[in-house]
Amino acid sequence: MKKLYLISICMGVALAFTSCDDEVELSSHQYDTVVTFKQEDMITFNFYNVNRDVTQTISINKGGCMPGTEPTITVEAYTEEELAAYNEENNTGYTLIPADQYSLSETSYKFGATENFKEIKVTIKGSFSDVASSQEGDYILPLRLKTDQGTVNKDKNVVYLKPILVTPTVSTNNEVLNNLAFDTYESESLIQKLYYDFYLDATNEWNFKLKFETENDVLQNAVEVFNAANDINYTLLPTSAYTPLEEVEFTSGVNDNYLPITIDATRLEEGDYLLPIISTMVGANFNIPETMYIHVFVYNSSGELASIKLDGRVTASSTHASEGVIENLWDDDPSTKWHSLWSANDKYDPKYGVYLDINLSDKPLNSQVQFGYTTRENINNNVPHMIQVYAGTSKDDLRLIKELDNDNGAELPKDPAATYTSEIISLGGTTTKLIRISFCKTYDHSSYGWGLEDLREQKGTRYPSVCISELNLSGR
């Protein structure tokens, strides 16, 4: 009777140790000593692609109703065959981390009589980043717990270490192409200072630098590649026109820094120049920004641009004939107007909205262009709110040369009978036989209350429209 009483006590102790979440099937020998992994079965962690070891700590508990026992536990990895069986059972496709890419601080440990807790360190070697980078898929390291005394909790006898390969990235918020314009006639200063901000997307534990290309041949080649890709003819910005591109240094604990660049157009002739910003990294192998460019446009606004007669040159993607025909745009009468369709319109374009094409095939431009328009009289609805200007040799090779958006400070007029003249826009030295003025958004400032409308979208049976009374174009 006494023996049965003691057994009952041990069973109670064993159940108290395992808790409701760690139930084990007990037999006459299983409640003496129970060992378990403390962690959940799947342990995921970031493994930065920086050729540096990463160590994870796994914990092993010893319990049961006979704490004085001294079991020897072992920790061993799955074999390839065991992982294959796991993948099939769980519909996964894990790859086993190679044995030479990790180490365990101990694979076997004998608990002392008074010990109930043991930590083992698992180190994934820095060279694993090369292994993981060379093959797609997820790697995993399953570790099984065994003991020579008592039992192992069957629900916590395996942990899976899953490193997530992460390559830190140095990014920037700067645009890929930064456009600067210098008017040698009106500008008070022909000097502008820029700042290129760079930041690391991980807590910085490293020391590294960003360096910037200075070799003239490399920069010239980058300009030629840019010109070919964009069908333009920019000239490499001479080194005398900008300050040296200094290294940007990141030390441990510093996550952001910047590159200052001063552009001095004082001694530049009129034309289009390009400075490629090509970065390389020293001290690490992170992702870095793609090549960026500074476009420097130098012009003199005192020189007259030739006015271009529009009669016979302009076609519209959409016209509401009863509201106003295209010929009204060059009749020098601000009381007449051109109006695009506002209902049953199948002429809108999801990219260009409603647009005017100006044919220059008999009088090509290659340097600069400027346009202007007048809003309709008497009412201020359907006024341009966002305009994009495209240039090319035909409708099949158009490139965006200017975007004007009131949401970004363009100041397109809102009032009736108001006149707008654009700044002088560079054509990049390329032959231009077609100018497309694309009306992307308009605004209704009248009592109709339609507000901002996108001409690249249909709204039920009604199509947003645009209306102006006069148009002019000049260039050279």
In tens digits, the chain (476 residues) has pLDDT values of: 444 443 444 444 444 444 434 444 444 455 578 899 998 789 999 998 887 899 999 999 998 877 788 999 999 999 999 999 999 999 999 999 999 999 999 999 999 989 989 999 999 999 998 898 888 889 999 999 999 988 898 889 999 999 999 899 999 999 999 999 898 887 778 999 999 999 999 889 889 999 999 999 999 999 999 999 988 889 999 999 999 999 999 999 999 999 999 999 998 988 899 999 999 999 888 999 999 999 999 988 777 788 999 999 999 999 988 889 999 999 999 999 999 988 765 667 899 999 999 999 988 998 899 999 999 998 888 899 999 999 999 999 999 999 999 999 999 999 999 999 999 999 988 889 999 999 999 998 766 667 888 998 877 666 788 999 999 999 98
Nearest to 76 by CA among 19, 122, 8, 18: 122
Tell me the C-alpha distance between 19 and 34, whole Å. 12
Strand partners, 274: 236, 295
Assess contact for 306 and 366: CB atoms under 8 A: no
Report residue 62 as tokens: 């010893």
The side-by-side arrangement of strands in the sheet containing 279-282 is: 248-250, 208-212, 279-282
* pTM score of the predicted model: 0.65
Report residue 7 as tokens: 């057994």
Tell me the C-alpha distance between 64 and 17, whole Å. 6
How distant, in Å, are the alpha carbons of 193, 223, 270 from that of 216? 22, 11, 21
